[in-house]
Amino acid sequence: MRYGAKVLFEEVSTAFSPGRRYGLTGPNGAGKSTFMNLLSGELEPQKGSVVRPRKLGVLSQDQFAFDPYGVLDTVIMGNKRLWAALQERDAIYAKHDMSDEDGMKLGELEGIVGEEDGYSAESDAAILLQGLDIPEELHTRKMGELQGGQKVRILLAQALFGHPQALLLDEPTNHLDLDSIHWLQGFLNNYDGVVIVISHDRHFLNSVCTHIADIDYQTIITYTGSYDDMVMAKTQVRSQIESQNAQREKKIAQLNEFIARFAAGTRSSQVQSRRKEVERLQVTELAKSNIQRPFIKFEQKRPSGKHILEIEHLGKAYGDNRVIRDFTASIGRGEKIALLGRNGAGKTTLLNALLANSPTIPESELRKTSGYGGPLLDSGKVIWGHEASVGYFAQDHRSLIENGTTVLEWLHQWDPSAVTEEIRGILGQMLFARDEAAKSTNVLSGGEAARLLFCKLMLQKPNVLVLDEPTNHLDLESINALNIALQRYQGTVLLVTHDHDLIDEVATRIWHFETDHKLTDFKGSYEEYQSAMVPA
- Report the pLDDT value the prediction gives residue 535, as an integer from 0 to 100: 62
Domain extents in the chain: 2-230, 239-280, 307-533
Give the whole-number percent of the chain exceeding pLDDT 90. Answer: 49
User: How far is residue 91's CA from residue 102's CA, in Å, rounded to a whole number?
Assistant: 10
Give the whole-number percent of the chain exceeding pLDDT 70. Answer: 95
Each residue's pLDDT tens digit, 63-90: 788 999 999 999 999 998 999 999 999 9
Which residues are bridge partners to 467 per DSSP?
A: 393, 495
Report yes or no: 213 and 220 within 8 Å, Cβ to Cβ: yes
Please provide the DSSP assignment of 137-175 as one string. GGTTSBGGGS-HHHHHHHHHHHHHTT--SEEEEESTTTT
Can 2-230 and 307-533 be said to share one CATH topology? yes
Q: What is the mean pLDDT of residues 421-436?
A: 92
432 pLDDT tier (thresholds 50, 70, 90): very high
For residue 376, pLDDT over 90 is answered with no
Q: What is the mean pLDDT of residues 269-283?
A: 78
**Strands lying side by side in the sheet with 211-216:** 56-58, 166-170, 194-198, 21-25, 211-216, 219-224
Tell me which of 28-32, 44-48, 424-428 is least confident: 28-32
For residue 287, pLDDT over 60 is answered with no
Q: What is the C-alpha radius of gyration for the chain, rounded to an integer number of angstroms?
A: 28
Report yes or no: 407 and 437 within 8 Å, Cβ to Cβ: yes
Of 73 and 280, which is predicted with more confidence? 73
Tell me which of 59-63, 286-290, 422-426 is least confident: 286-290
For residue 338, pLDDT over 70 is answered with yes
- Report the pLDDT value the prediction gives residue 357, as an integer from 0 to 100: 81
pTM over the 0.85 mark: no
For residue 290, pLDDT over 70 is answered with no
User: How far is residue 438's CA from residue 432's CA, in Å, rounded to a whole number?
Assistant: 10
Q: Report phi then psi at 495, rounded to 5.
A: -130, 125
Write down the mean pLDDT value for the chain: 87
Each residue's pLDDT tens digit, 464-511: 999 999 988 888 888 999 999 999 999 999 999 989 999 999 999 999
User: How far is residue 183's CA from residue 498's CA, in Å, rounded to a whole number?
Assistant: 13
Each residue's pLDDT tens digit, 140-167: 999 999 987 788 889 989 998 988 899 9
User: How far is residue 424's CA from residue 36's CA, in Å, rounded to a whole number?
Assistant: 35
For residue 268, pLDDT over 90 is answered with no
Neighbours of 491 (CB within 10 A): 24
For residue 398, pLDDT over 90 is answered with no
User: How far is residue 448's CA from residue 493's CA, in Å, rounded to a whole number?
Assistant: 23
- Report the pLDDT value the prediction gives residue 285, as an integer from 0 to 100: 58
For residue 261, pLDDT over 90 is answered with no
End-to-end CA distance of the chain: 56
CATH of 2-230, one of 3.40.50.300, 3.30.420.40, 1.50.10.10, 2.10.25.10: 3.40.50.300
- Report the pLDDT value the prediction gives residue 315, as an integer from 0 to 100: 87
Tell me which CATH code domain 307-533 carries.
3.40.50.300
For residue 284, pLDDT over 60 is answered with no
Neighbours of 146 (CB within 10 A): 19
The SS3 of residue 27 is: coil
For residue 460, pLDDT over 60 is answered with yes
Q: What is the mean pLDDT of residues 104-118?
A: 92
